[in-house]
């Protein structure tokens, strides 16, 4: 429930967030924006998720979608919190909770991936790269078939600590920036080299669909261009199907006239086959679906997905 001051001005809201340093930094950023736009004080409600508890398994091995969001959503649904802040890439693109709504996509951070410890060209032959993402593995293997890979999980600082066991590791550039981490050796990979994960670099601020007061406040930090881009990517992923367990990625950008450009990738886990497609349009849902159908129906993606399906 939203607490109010006399005269109707909002005094405080409670935000559900994971407890990692990155999640807290993201929630704090949203709190700062709300304080600036609506004079709102935000109190954290820290929630542990299944993904936080299962650090022994790689993301794609956890199976269930939304392993970083279900418990956070539950805190909003049962009234412990008024809204939640998620990394948009963690939110499933399908099976959305009807009682909840993404009330704001604040201005997007850096959507790109960062190779820490070396440049892509500078990696030695047969170099070992740490990543828990099949999307990252497949695209790196496409560019460098000689590379080998090892699993990597944990928060950003623990991943950076594990760099000594690899020639390089891959993390989200936005995570480094939000935590103020500046590695000595780091190459930010352009989407032409590594298509990002759907929603990467963006935050999704979620609240109850029937909470009009909170929705109105959160609307003040919604960024139209970010919403159009992320909704395009999510529409693409919804049509493709899958998530962190598949080597897929999509990245949308918006020009000054509101036109959307989308680049998407569907690959095999070993990088032997990488299907890319670029398209543009004005409607996020239509563009996302059209691009996905091209890859599935005309580029052989449907057969590729059948081959990727577990036996």
DSSP character string of 73-110:
HHHHHTTS-SEEEEEGGGS-SSS--TTEEEEE-PSP--
DSSP character string of 36-47:
HHH--EEEEEEE
How far apart are the C-alpha atoms of 56 and 8, rounded to whole Å? 48
How far apart are the C-alpha atoms of 289 and 239, rounded to whole Å? 6
State CA 263 to chain mean position distance: 16
CB contact set of 275 (below 8 Å; sequence gap of 6+): 265, 266, 267, 295, 299, 300, 301, 304
How far apart are the C-alpha atoms of 61 and 54, rounded to whole Å? 10
Which residues are marked as active site? Answer: 90
């Amino acid at each position: 429930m939203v607490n109010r001051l006399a005269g109707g001005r909002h005094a405080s809201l409670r935000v559900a967030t994971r407890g990692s340093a990155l999640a807290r930094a993201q929630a704090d950023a949203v709190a700062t924006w709300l304080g600036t736009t609506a004079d709102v004080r935000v109190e954290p409600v820290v929630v542990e998720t299944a993904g936080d508890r299962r650090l022994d398994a790689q993301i794609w091995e956890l199976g269930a979608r939304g392993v970083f969001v279900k418990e956070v959503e539950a805190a909003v649904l049962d009234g412990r919190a008024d809204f939640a802040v998620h990394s948009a890439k963690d939110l499933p693109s399908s099976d959305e909770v009807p009682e909840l709504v993404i009330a704001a996509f604040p201005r997007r951070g850096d959507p790109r991936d960062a190779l820490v410890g070396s440049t892509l060209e500078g990696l030695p032959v047969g170099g070992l790269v740490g990543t828990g993402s099949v999307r990252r593995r497949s695209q790196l293997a496409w560019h460098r078939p000689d590379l080998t890979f090892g699993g990597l999980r944990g928060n950003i600082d623990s991943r950076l600590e594990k760099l000594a066991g690899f020639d390089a590791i891959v993390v989200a550039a936005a995570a480094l920036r939000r935590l103020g981490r500046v590695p000595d050796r780091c190459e930010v990979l352009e989407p032409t080299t590594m298509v990002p994960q759907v929603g990467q670099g963006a935050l999704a601020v979620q609240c109850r669909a029937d909470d009009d007061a909170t929705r109105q406040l959160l609307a003040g930090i919604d960024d139209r261009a970010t919403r159009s881009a992320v909704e395009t990517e999510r529409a693409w992923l919804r049509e493709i199907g899958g998530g962190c367990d598949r080597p897929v990625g999509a990245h949308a950008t918006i020009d000054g006239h509101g036109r959307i450009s989308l680049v998407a990738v569907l690959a095999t886990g070993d990088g032997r086959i990488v299907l890319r497609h670029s398209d543009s349009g004005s409607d996020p849902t239509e563009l996302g679906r059209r691009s996905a159908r091209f890859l599935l129906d005309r580029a052989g993606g449907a057969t590729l997905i059948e081959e990727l399906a577990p036996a």
